Amino acid sequence: MTERQGIIKNEFGIHCRPADIVRKAAEGFQGKLELVGADGTVANPHKLLSILTLALTQGDHFTVRADGPGEEEIADKLVNILETSFDFH
């Protein structure tokens, strides 16, 4: 199992569009994936509403847990996506 930690940098936190980017990135991973909020709440990165239930805001810490083939790559990828500023303007 691989764990990676990060901090939300987007001033608007993780809302629908960034959450959907995370969900799409997680689609191909066949192992177990978890996104853990700062309060310990666990979400399934394969499900948009599950990601949104974490209510991640700017400055929040999070953890990505991955277990399966390519776990290090997917964990790094999801942390990178979640730490992006998501400038949609």
Residue 88 forms part of a structural domain: no
Residue 50 forms part of a structural domain: yes
Give me the CATH number covering residue 21.
3.30.1340.10
Residue 89 forms part of a structural domain: no
Q: How many domains is the chain partitioned into structurally? A: 1
Whole-Å CA distances, 50 to 33, 57, 89:
12, 15, 26
Residue 14 forms part of a structural domain: yes
> 0.85 exceeded by the pTM?
yes
Full residue range of the structural domain in which residue 53 is found: 2-83
pLDDT in tens, the chain (89 residues): 999 999 999 999 999 999 999 999 999 999 999 999 999 999 999 999 999 999 999 999 999 999 999 999 999 999 999 998 676 54
Residue 32 forms part of a structural domain: yes
Residue 56 forms part of a structural domain: yes
